[in-house]
Amino acid sequence: MAYRFDFASLLDYTPVLVNGVATTVGLTLVGAVLGVGIGIGGAAARSSANAPLRVAVGAYVELIRNTPFLVQLFFIFFGLPSLGVRLPEWQAALLAMVINLGAYATEIIRAGIDATPKGQIEAGASLGMSGPQIFRYIILGPAMGKIWPALTSQIIIVMLGSSVCSQIAVEELSFAANFIQSRNFRPFEVYFVATALYLALAVGLRWLLARLGDRLFARAARA
């Protein structure tokens, strides 16, 4: 009654797996860029003197950080059409991932901004720099350099969270695994390979982001 392993049966479905990996990578890269962009904007808003802006962004952050990603995704994909906004699944998935990463990135980057030594901001002001100039040249670079490892981890979490998007029929890696398993009925082989692929993707992405952080922020972090 021993289970007979049959990894070869997966070879027939290589195109499905490749397509799944490509979709996961695509969603993650675009989602990461947009999400970090929102994070920077959100962090700047939460550090600003404008109280209504602070409160509004704070509300967005708390809402997203305290609700499950799956619920956010279902709301966007199944719920919004009732309000007249019908998004195709990959747009809904991307939007959900960006909104989700944006909230977490806002808090992570805000921590970096708060850690900026007061003296440097005063030095910039004494040189006649405006608020936005101080933010861009003095605050942002070192802040990003300080929190880059934490941000990298959050991006990896969002990449692994993209597996949830299989619930709305986005054909990423988890969907590919479930699909293949429902055709060849070999869950061990299928999910073993899917796990190995996710592991490779996560390790690869972490390495890539570390190199990117070195190039962009290493000098600034040492400041």
Binding mask 117-156 for another protein (x = CB under 8 A): ----------------------------------------
Q: Which is nearer to another protein, 179 or 191 (CB)?
A: 179
Does 81 bind another protein (CB under 8 A)? Our answer is yes
Taking the least distance from each CB to another protein, the nearer of 72 and 178 is 178
H/E stretch holding 125 reads helix 118-126
Which whole-number Å values give the CA distances from 13 to 66, 132, 170, 192, in the listed order? 38, 52, 17, 15
Residue type at 222 in one-letter notation: R
Select the residue interacting with another protein from 29, 179, 202, 220 (CB under 8 A). Answer: 179
**Span interacting with another protein, options 44-52, 160-168, 196-204, 208-216, rule CB under 8 A:** 160-168
Q: How far is the CB of 79 from another protein (least distance, A)?
A: 8
Q: Is 82 in the site for another protein (CB under 8 A)?
A: yes
Cα(165)–Cα(112) distance, integer angstroms: 30
Integer-rounded Cα radius of gyration of the chain: 21
Q: Should residue 86 be labelled a site residue for another protein when binding is judged by CB under 8 A? A: yes
84: left (phi over 0), alpha (psi -120 to 50) or beta: left
